[in-house]
C-alpha cells in the first residue's frame, strides 16, 4: 500500500450552500446548508474508494466539490501536492485533465444534439486542439473498442443507444484524456442489475489496465463491496466510518453502518427469511439545522446524553476508524 | 463443421461490416421526417416558396414599372390586354408590380426582423441564464426596462427626427422583438443548465463560451425556430400597422401595409386596390402560422 503514490489528500473538506429563508428580508442572513461537514481521506494510485450513505447524505456533493463543480467552503483538496480549491483558473484547467467524472444519468449526461463521436472527442478537442481530425477519430474509435462499443457506431446519436451503452459512452469520454482519477457518481444506479454487473466489471478491468484510481459512489452496498478497496460511510455530511472494505463489511463498528449492512438482501431465501433488519427510526434530519453532538443520535438506539452534547471523532486503527462513543476500545 | 473458405468469407464480411460507419439519425432528421407528414405545413411551405420567388422575380415579368403612372388608366380594374393584370391604383400605377415590390419589403422586414430578434435574443437569453446570479439579475432588469418603453412613441420620435426610412423600421422592430425570445431562451437555459451533460462538459474543461454555443444553443434551437416562424407574420403585420399609420416606407416605394392603406381609402370605387394586397398578405400570414405549427409539432419529442 505504501509503495503506491498518494494522489488525492482531502483534508477536513466542508461544503456549505446558502439557502434563502422563506419570507426573509433582503438583509437577513441566509441559512447555511451543511452538505459536507469535515470529510478527510486519502486516495492512492490504483485504489478504489467506495462512498456509501443514504440519499441526501452529501456523497454527490463531496464528489462535485473534489472535481470543482461546487465551491469548497473550507478545507483542502490536495491533488499531487496542489490544493485544487485554491488554484488559479488556468492551472486548474490544466489539472482537470487528470480528474474525470462519470455521471448517474447515462442518457442525461450526453448532449442529445451531438453524435457520440463528437461527445467522446470533446475533452480531446478541448485539451489538444492541435490534433488532426483523423487522429481524433482514431483515438475515439480505439477508446470505443476499449469500453466495448462497436467503433462503427461513431456517427450515431445518444437516443439510439440503451442505458448501458450510454454509460459506456460516458466512460469512454472520461477515459479519453487518460486521467489518473475517475469519480463515479452512482454510475450504475440507473441501470438494470445485469447491466450493472457489466458496467462495474468494465470499470474494474479498465482500472487494472490503466492503473486508475476510482472514487465510487453508490447506495448499493453489494456493488461497493465488489469494487472497493476502502469504504467510507457518510451520514448527514459526516464520515461515520471508514476503513478497508473487508473490515467494514465483516466487522462494522458504527451503529449506522450496522443498520445499513443489515439491510442488504441475502441471495439465499432461507437466510433472507430469518434475517433481522435494524430498521432506523425517524427520518434523516435537515442538514440546514443538524443535531448537536453526534449527528446520528436522533436515530441511534445506543445514544445517551453524551452523544447529544459532544461530537465523536474518528477512532480506531488507521485501517478502520469509526466515529462513535459506544465502540468498545480494545 | 465449417469449411475454411466459409469461415474466411465470414471473417471478411464481419471485418467489412465493422468498417462501415453507420450513419446515425439526428433529432433534426427525425423532426424533418415528422414535418413531411404534416400536409398543411408542407403545402404552406410550397405556397410560401412560390410567394418568395414571385416577389423576387415577378416584378421583372410585369409589363409596367412600379413607380410609373399610366395616366389613361387610372383606377382601372384587372385587365389582361393593357398589361395591368391586377388593375391600377389611384395614380395609374400597376397593382401587379406594386404588390410584388411591396411584398419584397414586407417579407424582408418579416424575415430580417425575426432573424435579428432570434440572434440577439438567443445569445442574450442563453448568456443570462447560463451565468446566472447577479449577472442574470442585471440583464433581466435591463430587459424589463426596455420592454416597458412605450413602443409607438419610440417609433414616432425616430420618424420625426430622422424622417421616414425603412431602416428605422428595422431598428425600431429590432429593439423590441428580441425581448420575448431572450426571456424564452433564458427559461430554457435555466432548465438545461442543471442537466448532466452541461456538467459533463464543465468537467471536460470546455469553456463557458463553448458550452453556450455548442451545448446550450443547439438544444434551445427547436423552440427558437418555432417562435421565429411565428414571429415573422407578427413582424409583417407590425410593418403594415406602421405603414397604415403613415410611419412606414417612403413613396414611391411601397409595402403591403402601405398598399392596404391606399386601398382602404378607395375601397368604395376600386375594391381590387384593397383585395389584392390583402389577399397576398393573408395568404402569407396563414402560411407562416401553419408552418410554425407544423414545426412545433415536428420538434416536439413527445410526438414521436
Residue B1 has pLDDT above 60, yes or no: no
* Mean pLDDT lowest among B59-63, B185-189, B191-195: B59-63
Radius of gyration of chain B (CA): 26
Which of A110, A122, A157 has the CB atom closest to B204's CB atom? A122
Distance CA A100, CA A182 (A): 5
Instruction: Tell me which residue of A80, A99, A246, A92 sits closest to A185, measured CA to CA.
Output: A99
Which residues of B are less than 8 Å from A98 in CB distance? none
Question: pLDDT for A267-279, tens place per residue?
Answer: 888 887 887 777 7
A156 found inside a domain = no
CB distance A109–B200 less than 8 Å?
A: yes
Instruction: Tell me which residue of B290, B292, B171 sits closest to B229, measured CA to CA.
Output: B292
> Which A residues in the span 153-192 are in contact with B, Cβ-Cβ below 8 Å?
153-157, 159-160, 170, 173, 177
Residue B214, min C-alpha distance to chain A (Å): 9
Under the banding of pLDDT at 50, 70 and 90, the label for residue A1 is very low
pLDDT value of residue A172 = 92
pLDDT value of residue B304 = 45
Question: pLDDT for B102-151, tens place per residue?
Answer: 888 888 888 888 888 888 888 899 889 888 888 899 999 999 988 888 87
ipTM over 0.95: no
- What is the CA angle B152-B234-B58, rounded to 5? 115
Residue B148, min C-alpha distance to chain A (Å): 25
Question: pLDDT for A28-40, tens place per residue?
Answer: 778 888 888 888 8
Which residues of A are less than 8 Å from B22 in CB distance? 152-153, 155-156
Cis peptide before A120 (omega within 30 of 0): no
Residue B22 φ/ψ, nearest 5 degrees: -80, 130
Q: By the CB < 8 Å criterion, does A17 face chain B?
A: no
CB distance A123–B204 less than 8 Å?
A: yes
Under the banding of pLDDT at 50, 70 and 90, the label for residue B14 is low
Question: pLDDT for A79-117, tens place per residue?
Answer: 888 888 788 888 888 888 888 999 888 888 898 888 888
CB distance A108–B196 less than 8 Å?
A: yes
Instruction: Tell me which residue of B90, B94, B113, B120 sits closest to B237, measured CA to CA.
Output: B113
Domain of A15, CATH number, reads: 3.40.50.300
Under the banding of pLDDT at 50, 70 and 90, the label for residue A26 is confident
Residue B286 has pLDDT above 70, yes or no: yes
A102 found inside a domain = yes
Rounded mean pLDDT, B233-251: 79
* Mean pLDDT lowest among A209-218, A311-320, B57-66, B257-266: B57-66
Which of A67, A159, A160 has the CB atom closest to B203's CB atom? A67
A62 found inside a domain = yes
Domains in chain B with CATH codes: 40-64+80-303 (1.10.3720.10)
A154 found inside a domain = no
Q: By the CB < 8 Å criterion, does B200 face chain A?
A: yes
pLDDT value of residue B140 = 92
Instruction: Tell me which residue of A206, A251, A218, A246 sits closest to A230, measured CA to CA.
Output: A246
Residue B51 φ/ψ, nearest 5 degrees: -65, -40
In chain B, the residue whose alpha carbon lies closest to the alpha carbon of A170 is B200
Between helix B95-131 and helix B166-193 the angle, nearest 10°, is 30
Residue B19 has pLDDT above 70, yes or no: no
Instruction: Tell me which residue of B248, B258, B217 sits closest to B99, measured CA to CA.
Output: B258
A288 found inside a domain = yes
Q: By the CB < 8 Å criterion, does B133 face chain A?
A: no
The parent domain of residue A302 ranges over: 6-21+29-111+185-194+211-322
Which of B23, B200, B218 has the CB atom closest to A155's CB atom? B23
pLDDT value of residue B24 = 66
Rounded mean pLDDT, A50-62: 87
Radius of gyration of chain A (CA): 21
Instruction: Tell me which residue of B150, B149, B177 sits closest to B237, measured CA to CA.
Output: B177
Question: pLDDT for B20-58, tens place per residue?
Answer: 666 767 777 778 888 888 888 899 999 999 999 988 888
CB distance B205–A173 less than 8 Å?
A: no
Rounded mean pLDDT, A193-219: 89
Q: By the CB < 8 Å criterion, does A117 face chain B?
A: no
Residue B232, min C-alpha distance to chain A (Å): 26
Rounded mean pLDDT, B63-86: 74
Average pLDDT, chain B: 81
A14 found inside a domain = yes
Residue A3 has pLDDT above 70, yes or no: no
CB distance A155–B21 less than 8 Å?
A: yes
Q: What is the dihedral of CA B230, B235, B236, B241, to 10 degrees?
A: 130
Q: Between the ranges A60-69, B158-167, B249-258, where is the mean pLDDT highest?
A: A60-69
Q: By the CB < 8 Å criterion, does A141 face chain B?
A: no
CB distance B26–A115 less than 8 Å?
A: yes
A233 found inside a domain = yes
Between helix B95-131 and helix B39-61 the angle, nearest 10°, is 130
Which of A97, A103, A154 has the CB atom closest to B21's CB atom? A154
**Mutation target among A70, A99, A100, A113 for the B interface, most CBs of B within 10 A:** A113
Domain total for chain A? 1
Q: By the CB < 8 Å criterion, does B137 face chain A?
A: no
A247 found inside a domain = yes
In chain A, the residue whose alpha carbon lies closest to the alpha carbon of B210 is A126
Q: By the CB < 8 Å criterion, does B23 face chain A?
A: yes
Amino acid at each position: 500500500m505504501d509503495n503506491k503514490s498518494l494522489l488525492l489528500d482531502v483534508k477536513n473538506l466542508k461544503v456549505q450552500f446558502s439557502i434563502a429563508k422563506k419570507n426573509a428580508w433582503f438583509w437577513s442572513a441566509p441559512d447555511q446548508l451543511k452538505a459536507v461537514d469535515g470529510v478527510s481521506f486519502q486516495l492512492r494510485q490504483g485504489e478504489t474508494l467506495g462512498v456509501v450513505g443514504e440519499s441526501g447524505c452529501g456523497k454527490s456533493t463531496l464528489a462535485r466539490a473534489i472535481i470543482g463543480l461546487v465551491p469548497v467552503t473550507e478545507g483542502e483538496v490536495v491533488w499531487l501536492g496542489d490544493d485544487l480549491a485554491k488554484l488559479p483558473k488556468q492551472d486548474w484547467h490544466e489539472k482537470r485533465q487528470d480528474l474525470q467524472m462519470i455521471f448517474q444519468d447515462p442518457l442525461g449526461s450526453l448532449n442529445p444534439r451531438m453524435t457520440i463521436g463528437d461527445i467522446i472527442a470533446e475533452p480531446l478537442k478541448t485539451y489538444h486542439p492541435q490534433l488532426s481530425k483523423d487522429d481524433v477519430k482514431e483515438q475515439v474509435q480505439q477508446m470505443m473498442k476499449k469500453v466495448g462499443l462497436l467503433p462503427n457506431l461513431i456517427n450515431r446519436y445518444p437516443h439510439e443507444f440503451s442505458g448501458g451503452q450510454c454509460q459506456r459512452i460516458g466512460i469512454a469520454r472520461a477515459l479519453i484524456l487518460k486521467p489518473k482519477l475517475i469519480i463515479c457518481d452512482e454510475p450504475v444506479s440507473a441501470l438494470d442489475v445485469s447491466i450493472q454487473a457489466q458496467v462495474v466489471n468494465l470499470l474494474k478491468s479498465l482500472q487494472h489496465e490503466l492503473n486508475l484510481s476510482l472514487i465510487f459512489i453508490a447506495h448499493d452496498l453489494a456493488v461497493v463491496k465488489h469494487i472497493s478497496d476502502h469504504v467510507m460511510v457518510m451520514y448527514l455530511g459526516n464520515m461515520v466510518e471508514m476503513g478497508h472494505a473487508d473490515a467494514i463489511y465483516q466487522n462494522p463498528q458504527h451503529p449506522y453502518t450496522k443498520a445499513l449492512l443489515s439491510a442488504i438482501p441475502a441471495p439465499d431465501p432461507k437466510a433472507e427469511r430469518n434475517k433481522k433488519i435494524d430498521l432506523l427510526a425517524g427520518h434523516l434530519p435537515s442538514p440546514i439545522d443538524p443535531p448537536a453532538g453526534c449527528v446520528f443520535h436522533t436515530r441511534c438506539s445506543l445514544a445517551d446524553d453524551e452523544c447529544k452534547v459532544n461530537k465523536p471523532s474518528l477512532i480506531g486503527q488507521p485501517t478502520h476508524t469509526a466515529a462513535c462513543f459506544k465502540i468498545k476500545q480494545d | 463443421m465449417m469449411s475454411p473458405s466459409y469461415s474466411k468469407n465470414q471473417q471478411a464480411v464481419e471485418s467489412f461490416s465493422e468498417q462501415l460507419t453507420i450513419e446515425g439519425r439526428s433529432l433534426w432528421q427525425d423532426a424533418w421526417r415528422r414535418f413531411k407528414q404534416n400536409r398543411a405545413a408542407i403545402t404552406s411551405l410550397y405556397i410560401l416558396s412560390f410567394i418568395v420567388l414571385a416577389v423576387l422575380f415577378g416584378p421583372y415579368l410585369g409589363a409596367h414599372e412600379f413607380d410609373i403612372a399610366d395616366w389613361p388608366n387610372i383606377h382601372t380594374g384587372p385587365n389582361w390586354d393593357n398589361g395591368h393584370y391586377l388593375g391600377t391604383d389611384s395614380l395609374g400605377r400597376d397593382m401587379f408590380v406594386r404588390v410584388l415590390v411591396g411584398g419584397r419589403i414586407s417579407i424582408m422586414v418579416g424575415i430580417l426582423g425575426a432573424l435579428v430578434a432570434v440572434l440577439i435574443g438567443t445569445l442574450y437569453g442563453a448568456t443570462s441564464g447560463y451565468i446566472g446570479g447577479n449577472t442574470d439579475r442585471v440583464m433581466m432588469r435591463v430587459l424589463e426596462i426596455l420592454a416597458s418603453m412605450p413602443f409607438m412613441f419610440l417609433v414616432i420620435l425616430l420618424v420625426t427626427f430622422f424622417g421616414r426610412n425603412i431602416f428605422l423600421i428595422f431598428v425600431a422592430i429590432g429593439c423590441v422583438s428580441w425581448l420575448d425570445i431572450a426571456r424564452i431562451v433564458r427559461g430554457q437555459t435555466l432548465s438545461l443548465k442543471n442537466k448532466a451533460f452541461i456538467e459533463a462538459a464543465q468537467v471536460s474543461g470546455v469553456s463557458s463560451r463553448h458550452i453556450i454555443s455548442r451545448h446550450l444553443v443547439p438544444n434551445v434551437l427547436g423552440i427558437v425556430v418555432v417562435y421565429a416562424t411565428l414571429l415573422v407574420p407578427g413582424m409583417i403585420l407590425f410593418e403594415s400597422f406602421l405603414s397604415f399609420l403613415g410611419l412606414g416606407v417612403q413613396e414611391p416605394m411601397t409595402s403591403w401595409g402601405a398598399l392596404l392603406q391606399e386601398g382602404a381609402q378607395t375601397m368604395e370605387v376600386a375594391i381590387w386596390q384593397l383585395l389584392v394586397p390583402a389577399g397576398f398578405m393573408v395568404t402569407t400570414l396563414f402560411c407562416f402560422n401553419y408552418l410554425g405549427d407544423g414545426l412545433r409539432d415536428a420538434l416536439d419529442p413527445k410526438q414521436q
